[in-house]
Structure 1
Amino acid sequence: MSSPVMTKEGKVRDLRSKEEIRAERRKGRTGVYLVLPGLLVLVLFFALPVVVLLAMSLYTRPPGAEIGQFVPALQFSNYATVLGAYWPELMRSFGFALIATTLALIIGYPMAYLVAVRLRERKLLQGILLVLLIAPFFSSFILRTQSWKQILADEGFVAQTLKAVGLLASDGHLTATAFAVVAGLTYNFLPFMVLPIYANLERLDTRLLEAAGDLYASPLTTFRKVTLPLSAPGVFAGTLLTFIPAAGDYVNAALLGNNRNTTMIGQVIDSRFFRVIDYPGAAALSFVLMVSILILVTVYIRKFGTKDLM
C-alpha cells in the first residue's frame, strides 16, 4: 500500500517541479523582452557606429581622386600615420584630463562632504547648495567655457591680481595657455565629480562617525579610516565620469587655448574631419582615442577598484 502513495507523491512532486520550471522560463522570457529595447539601442547607436568607425579608419584615397573621395580598403598604415603625426596631442589630452580630474577631486570632495554630511540636518541650506551645484547644467557648455575666457582675460580681475602680486609677468597671459584649458576642464566637469561623491556620502551612517569618536579616534583618523573608505565608490565613479569626457574634449582647448601648445586630440579629430576632409585619419584617431581610454579605464579598475579601497 505504501508504494502507490509514494508514486502519487512522486507525481505531485514532478508536477510541482514542472510548474516551477515553466514559471522560471516565463520569468526568463519576460526578462529578455525587457532587455531587448536596451540591447537594440546599444546595437544601433553604439556597436554599429563603432563598426562603421573601424571600417572607415581603413579606407584609402585612390590616386587622382577628388578631396573627400575614399574607397574601402585595409589600409592599416592609417593608424601608423596618425599616431606618428599626432601622438603629442594624444598624450597632452590625457595629461590635461588627469590634471583636471585630480583638481576636480581635490575641490569636489570637500564640497560633497560639506553638503552631504555637515549640512545633513540643515535641509534648506543643503538644497540651496545643491541647486547652485547643478545650476551650471542649465546653461550651454560653450557659454560656460566662453565665460572663462572673459574671466581669464588680460584685463580681467584674475590676471590683474596675479600681476599685482608678482605671480604673473606684466606682459603675461592666462588665456591661450595650458592653465586656461585645465581650468576650463576642471570647472566644466566638476559636477561630474561632486554628484557621485555626494550621492555616496548622503547614504553614510553618521553613527559610524560618532562611534569612531567614542573610540577616541581623532577627526583625521575618522575621516581616513571610516569616511574615505565608505565614500570610495563615489570617488571611483566620479573620477571615471570626469576623466573620460575630459580626455576627448575639444571645446575648452579650442576656446581657451587654440594654439599649438594646447591642442588636444579632439581638436585634431574635428580638424581632420571637417577641414582637411580626411575621414580615414579622423576615424583612426577616434578609434585610437576610444581604445586608449578603454585600456586606461580597465587598468584603473583592476588596480584601484572599490574592493581594494574598502
Structure 2
Amino acid sequence: MPAARPPLLQRLLALLRSLGGRGSVLGLPYLWLLIFFLLPFLIVLRISLAQMDGALVSDLFHWTETELTLTVRLGTYQLLFTDDLYWSTYGLSLLYAGVTTVVCLLIGYPFAYFMARSSTSLQPLLLMGVMLPFWTSFLLRVYAWKALLDADTGWVGTALKALQVDDLLFAIGAIPAEGQFMYSPFSLVIGMVYTYLPFMVLPLFGTLSKLDIRLLEAAQDLGATPWQTFWRVTVPLSRGGIVAGAMLVFIPCVGEYVIPELLGGPETLMIGRVLWDEFFSNNDWPMASSVAVIMIMLILVPLAIFNRTQSEADKR
C-alpha cells in the first residue's frame, strides 16, 4: 500500500494540476526567481534601510501597544551618491567589465566560428578544450597567472618583455612601470578574460552551429564578398549568442572580487572589494547592502531596457 503524501506536497501537486501543463512550465521558473533572487534581494534591501545596533542590524518595524512604527534610514544611500570613492569604484567596475567583455568577444567569436565550422567528429574535442579549465580549481588558475606574468621567471612575462610590449602597455597606462605586469590593470583584465572566456565561447558556438549555411551560399551567389557575408549575414544571425555571451561575462565581472584581489593593484579597486571591506572589515552591513543594491540596479536597469527594445524590434 503506497505511503500517504504529505499535505503540503498534495497541495502543491493540486496547484500544478489546476494551472495545467503550460502554467506549470511558466510558473516553476518564476518560483525559482522568487525564492533565489527576489527574496534575497528584498533581504539585502531591508538591511540597507536599517542601521547597525551593536553587532546586529536594527529592525525596520517597531511594535508598541498602540502603534506600529516604520523607521527607514537613507543615510547610506546619501553617502553613496556624495562620496567619490564609491562613484570611482562603480565606474572602474563597469569599465573593466566592459573591457573584459569586448576582449572576450574579439577572442571568442573567431574561435566559436571555427568550432561551428569544424567537422562533427572534431567538435567534441574542441568543446572539451573549452571546458577543460573548469576541471581545475578557480583559485589555482588565478594564482598561476601570478607566476606566468612575472617579468623575470614567468614565460609570459619574459616573452612580453622581450617583445617590448611593456613599453606600449606603460605608455597607455595599463601597467605602473616597464616590466611590471603584475598588480596592474593589465594583469586584472588578463585574469578576467582567461576566466570568463568560456562563457563567451559556448553561447556563440551554440548559435553559430545552428546557422543555416544556405544563407551564406545565397549571399555569395548574389555577389557578396566573404567580408560582406560575414557582417551582413553571419553577425546579425548570431546576435542572440553575442548578447547571451556578453551578459554571462559582463554581469559576474562587475562584482568580481577574487581576481582583482589577487591580480589587481591599488588603482584597480572594484566594487567587489568595497563590498568585502564594508561587510567584514568595517562591519557596516547597511552600507555594504546599499552598495550591493546600487550594483544590482546598475546591471538590471540596462538589461531590462535592452530586453524591452529587443522585444519591440521583434514585433516590427
Is the TM value for this pair above 0.5?
Answer: yes
The 1:296/1:222 distance shift into structure 2, 3 A limit, reads same
Distance (Å, rounded) in 2 between the aligned partners of 1:39 and 1:215: 46
The residue aligned with 1:56 is 47
Q: Describe the SS at the equivalent of 2:87.
A: helix
Residue 88 (structure 1) aligned with residue 88 (structure 2): yes
The answer on whether the counterparts of 2:52 and 2:285 sit within 8 Å (CA) in structure 1 is: no
Distance (Å, rounded) in 2 between the aligned partners of 1:32 and 1:70: 39
Per mean C-alpha deviation after superposition, the further-off stretch among 172-181 and 295-304 is: 295-304
Tell me the CA shift for residue 244 of structure 1. Answer: 0.7
Q: How does 1:1-310 map to 2 (within 5 A)?
A: 28-33=19-24, 35-61=26-52, 66=54, 68-72=55-59, 73-83=71-81, 84=83, 85-117=85-117, 119=118, 122-155=119-152, 156-168=154-166, 172-257=179-264, 259-302=265-308, 307=313
Unaligned runs of 5+ in 1: 1-25
The answer on whether the counterparts of 1:192 and 1:241 sit within 8 Å (CA) in structure 2 is: yes
The 1:205/1:33 distance shift into structure 2, 3 A limit, reads closer
The 1:202/1:34 distance shift into structure 2, 3 A limit, reads closer
The 1:306/1:210 distance shift into structure 2, 3 A limit, reads farther
The answer on whether the counterparts of 1:232 and 1:306 sit within 8 Å (CA) in structure 2 is: no
Query: Normalising by the residue count of structure 2, what TM-score does the alignment of the two structures yield?
Result: 0.80
The 1:211/1:269 distance shift into structure 2, 3 A limit, reads same
Distance (Å, rounded) in 1 between the aligned partners of 2:313 and 2:180: 45
Distance (Å, rounded) in 2 between the aligned partners of 1:47 and 1:210: 47
Letter in 2 for 1:283: S
The answer on whether the counterparts of 2:260 and 2:269 sit within 8 Å (CA) in structure 1 is: yes
Report the structure number with the largest CA radius of gyration.
Answer: 1
The answer on whether the counterparts of 1:233 and 1:306 sit within 8 Å (CA) in structure 2 is: no
Tell me the percent identity. Answer: 37
User: What are the superposed Cα offsets for residues 129-171 of structure 1, whole Å, 9 maximum, x if unpaired?
Assistant: 1110111122222222122222112321222222223332685
Query: Normalising by the residue count of structure 1, what TM-score does the alignment of the two structures yield?
Result: 0.82
Letter in 2 for 1:277: N
The 1:29/1:214 distance shift into structure 2, 3 A limit, reads closer
User: What are the superposed Cα offsets for residues 218-239 of structure 1, whole Å, 9 maximum, x if unpaired?
Assistant: 1111111111111111111111
The answer on whether the counterparts of 2:47 and 2:289 sit within 8 Å (CA) in structure 1 is: yes
The answer on whether the counterparts of 1:154 and 1:174 sit within 8 Å (CA) in structure 2 is: yes
The 1:225/1:183 distance shift into structure 2, 3 A limit, reads same
The 1:37/1:180 distance shift into structure 2, 3 A limit, reads same
Distance (Å, rounded) in 1 between the aligned partners of 2:49 and 2:183: 35
Distance (Å, rounded) in 2 between the aligned partners of 1:285 and 1:222: 45
Distance (Å, rounded) in 2 between the aligned partners of 1:89 and 1:209: 45
Root mean square deviation of aligned Cα? 2.4
